[in-house]
Amino acid sequence: MKKVVIGILAHVDAGKTTLSESLLYTSGKIGKLGRVDNKDAYLDTYDLEKERGITIFSKQAIFELEDIQVTLLDTPGHVDFSAEMERTLQVLDYAILVVSGADGVQGHTKTLWRLLNLYQIPTFIFINKMDQFGTDKDNLIKELKKQLSDGCIDFQHGKTEEFYDQLAMCDEKIMEEFLETGHIEDFEIKKAIKDRKVFPCVFGSALKLQGVEELMQCISHHVIIPTYGETFGAKIFKVTRDEQGNRLTHFKVTGGKLKVKDVLSTHSWEDKVNQIRIYSGQKFEAVSEVLAGTVCAVTGLSKAIPGEGLGMEEASEAPILEPVLIYQMILPEGCDPRVMIPKLRQIEEEEPELHIFWDEELQEIQVRIMGEVQIEILQNLIETRFGVQVTFQDGGIIYKETIANIVEGVGHFEPLRHYAEVHLLLEPGERGSGLSFESKCSEDMLGKSWQRLVLHHLEEKAHKGVLTGSEITDMKITLVSGRAHNKHTEGGDFREATWRAVRQGLMESQSVLLEPYYSFQLELPEKMVGRAMTDIDKMNGTSEISHSDGEMAVLVGSGPVSTMRNYQKEVIAYTKGNGRLFCSLKGYEQCHNPEEIIKGIGYDPERDLSNTTSSVFCSQGSGFVVPWY
């Protein structure tokens, strides 16, 4: 049977889980239509999900659509669980984006759209809640075209001349075919969807099963089934534990096949597959073999982590949507941190973005968090799994650092009977580009194996900046020169020289402090727009009116997380509950008050012995330290 993996995504409360339920019911997979508000949805299996009525963990269900087996991955809609959603994107063939017809394109919808574009995932759009009073199909299509793409086309009412006209505007090849023949072949439509030039739109109400069958037909008629090679590969997107505590590694097989007892490995671990499970909801089927295109969970892999590639697959990029807040985790009296930290590592395996960290100097556990909802979920998870009630103390913002100019950094490590020297070129990158590493060093100067080792040492560490000790980002680091000694150089020598070269370069550079920014959408009574815009200006944000109907207005803009993180409560207070603020992470931008932050943190790079800025030379049989300057 043909196989396709489809993810379903939405801004919170757009009706994503209700649509998942309707797809499963209409396909015949389930005999009873569950509801989120009745706490009996097929895919909301955790107690917390039932209590809050939101999807917290991504889940899968399998159903058949004509001759296609669909693996449906339901992803979290709340912005606090964006990292889990984003990891799931990396194994999708297609996506369904659910938009509320009552609310239109919302803040997090745009973030999802940006990610779908980044990962180049062809997308069907279901405009939900069209049964609600005041929804306007024509205005919604215009909004989708304006806010998302001109390729958003209504696929619901057959192949009319207007339908072909709109398709022809999306792709030159389709335009040529249409002008020559007055017709467009189905395969060309499929290809335009696959290439993200066309985005089929279907309108309906998932709760009332309106438009659901049309969506299913649209998908079955327009997906191109992926083809795979014979060489084994897989992408890991999730790690969980079952009720018995067994560690489950979830991945999509992207090539070849996998059998029970096969040995899987990466450069850092090797394990044997004990069991292969195909999940649908809470239940699973144990199988002896899976083929490419299958999403499965396996037991036996004790060290695999989300984002790793297996076989021919490379590791995935780290999620763009990462936590921007840091909190102190406070343990109850009598709970030993040394006992608790290994237990917390289990949760960190499942949510790598938490970065659970023991600060030796402060003697405290620190955790990176997306928002308050995630804190509540984390507290519940720790209590349920380990019987420990933890609390969180508000920490601060996660800052980052970059550079504004090109600089060369040099690291030399030569204590007695050791030798390594590294020259690195540090260049500022585009905002949001992260770190990239390459070598342009001649092999005549430094052997290929040593060059690979230097690149490995660059990649293995979260390098600290020199302003606040925050991680560096948005930088290209190039190995341009290096030296080894035939007799005295050992592997660890290049680690020392590489890290010192990074630090020396940062000390020489003009460093820039970055802080996280929100994109926001604020809906509120029109008479309060002036108050809101004044507030946003005071918070060092920017805003503009995107829509107004005489009663309600919509402001859009961006602002620092540090100033806007608690603004939702203020909005509710001054609008008496009539205002709504939707925030999503825009990315990192230049800090609005760097001097204040740098002074407050009080970081001294020259006293950070774990990230030294100096080099070590040898004279008359003993090593001596040379400062970075």
CATH number of the domain that residue 517 is part of: 3.30.70.240
Whether residue 450 contacts residue 379, with contact meaning beta carbons closer than 8 Å, is answered with no
In the chain, how many domains are there? 5
Domain assignment present for residue 541? The answer is: yes
Burial of 240 from C-beta contacts in 10 A (0-12 / 13-18 / 19+): middle
Strands 325-330 and 123-128, by their bridges, are unpaired
Report, in this order, helix, strand and coil percent for the chain, each rounded to 5. Answer: 30, 35, 35
What is the average pLDDT across 521-527?
Answer: 91
Pairwise CA distance, residues 20 & 72, whole Å: 8
**Phi, psi values for residue 20, rounded to 5°:** -55, -45
Q: Which residues contact 377 (CB under 8 A, 6 or more apart)?
A: 48, 56, 80
| 49 — pLDDT class (breaks 50, 70, 90) | low
Q: What is the pLDDT of residues 148-159, one digit of tens each?
A: 999 999 998 777
Q: Which two tokens stand for residue 407?
A: 């600089």
Q: 626 in a domain, yes or no?
A: no
pTM above 0.75, yes or no: yes
Q: Are 381 and 419 found together in one domain? A: no
Give the span between the Cα atoms of 49 and 12, in whole angstroms: 13
Q: How far apart are the first and last CA of the chain?
A: 66
Please tell me what DSSP assigns to residue 226: P
Residues 382 and 473 in one domain: no
Pairing of strands 263-265, 270-272: antiparallel
Q: Would residue 15 be called left, alpha or beta, if left means φ above 0 and alpha means ψ between -120 and 50 degrees?
A: left
What separation in angstroms does the CA of 298 have from each of 30, 72, 126, 246? 25, 18, 33, 10
Are the CB atoms for 168 and 92 separated by under 8 Å? no
* pLDDT for the residue 516: 95
- HSE-up (13 A, CA, CB side) for residue 493: 24
Q: How far apart are CA 349 and CA 355, in angstroms?
A: 10
Strand ordering across the sheet containing 309-311? 283-287, 275-280, 295-299, 247-255, 233-241, 309-311
Whose structure tokens read 């096969």?
262
Position 454 pLDDT exceeds 90:
yes
Q: Do residues 524 and 581 share a domain? A: yes
Mean per-residue pLDDT, 545-556: 88
Residue 247 and residue 378 in one domain: no
pLDDT of 313 above 70:
yes
Domain of 289: which CATH number? Answer: 2.40.30.10
Domain end call among 493, 509, 525: 509
Looking at the structure, do residues 467 and 526 belong to the same domain, yes or no? no
DSSP 317: P
Q: Does the residue 542 lie in any domain?
A: yes
Spatial contact of 84 and 74, defined as CB atoms under 8 Å apart: no
Contacts of 417 (CB under 8 A, 6+ apart): 488
Whole-number Å distance between alpha carbons of 248 and 57: 14
Statement: residue 378 has pLDDT above 80? yes
Question: Do residues 203 and 84 both lie within one domain?
Answer: yes
- Establish if 602 belongs to a structural domain: no
Which residue range forms the structural domain that includes residue 333? 325-389
**Bridge pairing between strands 289-291 and 257-259:** antiparallel
Structure confidence by residue, pLDDT tens digits, 180-216: 887 788 889 999 999 999 999 999 999 999 999 999 9
Same domain, 270 and 338: no
Q: Is residue 261 part of a domain?
A: yes
- In angstroms, rounded to a whole number, what is the distance separating the alpha carbons of residues 272 and 291? 18
Q: Which helix (H) or strand (E) segment is 172 a member of?
A: helix 172-181
261 lies in the same domain as 128 = no
Does a structural domain hold residue 395? no
600 occurs within a structural domain: no
Phi, psi for residue 439 in degrees, rounded to 5: -120, 135
- Give the separation between CA 136 and CA 539, rounded to whole angstroms: 35
Same domain, 567 and 422: no
Local structure of residue 14 (DSSP, 8 states): S
One-letter identity of residue 299: T
Question: Which among 57, 587, 592 has a CA at the least distance from the CA of 324?
Answer: 587
State residue 328's pLDDT score: 92
Task: Specify whether 174 is located in the same domain as 244.
Answer: no
Query: Taking the alpha carbons of 134, 136, 141, 146 in that order, is the dihedral positive or negative?
Result: negative
Q: What is the largest CA-CA distance in the chain?
A: 88
Q: At what angle do helices 82-89 and 107-118 cross, to 10 degrees?
A: 30
The pLDDT of residue 272 is above 90: yes
| Claim to verify: residue 257 and residue 118 sit in the same structural domain | no
pLDDT at 48 over 80: no
Q: Quick one: tokens of 246? A: 């067994």
Query: How many CB atoms neighbour CB 588 within 10 A?
Result: 23
pLDDT confidence band for 13 (50 / 70 / 90): confident
The model's pLDDT over 384-408, given as tens digits with 9 standing for 90+, comes to: 889 999 999 877 899 999 999 999 9
Q: Is residue 357 part of a domain?
A: yes
The dihedral of CA 175, 179, 185, 186: what is its sign? positive
Mean pLDDT across the chain = 90
Same domain, 203 and 114: yes
pLDDT in tens, 81-103: 788 888 899 999 999 999 999 98
Show the DSSP H helices in 509-593 as ranges: 529-538, 561-564, 567-574
Lowest mean pLDDT among 67-71, 164-168, 204-208, 499-503: 164-168
Distance CA 296, CA 252 (A): 6
